[in-house]
Structure 1
């Protein structure tokens, strides 16, 4: 790896030189791209710019959408299906009708008896992957 640090640069530019893009490199590229996506959320009457890497999950409750970081919760005017589109090629995946999770914050997963999965997040919260979403979840999480 080569890193050139200089005050002559105005912004960060990443160049990848490779013979071909394999699955591992494709994952690295997606992670880098994900770092540049920000969302806005409100809390206590203030609007915040949120880096999606810090989000654990996005949940819709009673027609309201909430963005969850490790300890803070923000409200968003966007609908869950809009987040599905915005976060299409990121670590986020829909795991139920009302929840999208950031797989980068999943510590472990265990199968439940009813065909669902329980995912334990790195902040010790647990979320349920409904049966309908298990196949896509396994493909994304295990890849």
Structure 2
């Protein structure tokens, strides 16, 4: 969800940091909602959806944003195996892979087909434990057992199910930052 934030400087950094960790994106030009501190004396747009908050009730404001995030970002995906559909919790997924215009979802021992494209999954999984590591893979960093330096400045990820995926050069920096490496 994209938001525009109107508040005093003291709260700006605190709120932006909190919301970015939750997968919200700040965008002052194209946004879904305006987050507005009540006691700010600025003109308020009357034709936009706004959420107003006070400095004194930040905890309640953060709780509301967390609840909104839960609705905006589901905790599962539907996967298809043969002719059956399954609900797959994100925490059970090791990685997603795109091959021949089809997206696959891999768990500990199963492989499913997903209707979502990788770019859609990337948006859905923002703020969760997933990161894109190549044009064709998004991985769950909580399912990585080992990270091995690989040829040409790449990394090999070994998962708990012993599957292996290479982090391509274009994605190494973001991957390392996301895990604090």
TM-score in same-fold range (> 0.5) = yes
Could you tell me which runs of 5 or more consecutive residues in structure 2 were left unpaired when the two chains were aligned: 1-13, 23-65
CA deviation after TM superposition for structure 1 residue 107, in Å: 1.0
CA deviation after TM superposition for structure 1 residue 50, in Å: 0.6
**Residue of structure 2 aligned with 1:97, choices 135, 145, 154:** 135
Q: If the length of structure 1 is used for normalisation, what is the TM-score?
A: 0.74
Q: If the length of structure 2 is used for normalisation, what is the TM-score?
A: 0.59
Higher helix share: 2
**Residue of structure 2 aligned with 1:38, choices 69, 76, 96:** 76
- Pair 1:55 & 2:97 matched: no
**Residue of structure 1 aligned with 2:117, choices 75, 79, 88:** 79
**Partner in structure 1 of residue 105 of structure 2:** 67
**Partner in structure 1 of residue 167 of structure 2:** 129
Runs of 4+ residues over 6 Å off in structure 1 = none
Change (3 A) 1:39 1:99: same
- Tell me the number of residue pairs that the alignment of Structure 1 and Structure 2 aligns: 117
State which structure, 1 or 2, has the greater radius of gyration over its C-alpha atoms: 2
CA deviation after TM superposition for structure 1 residue 123, in Å: 1.1
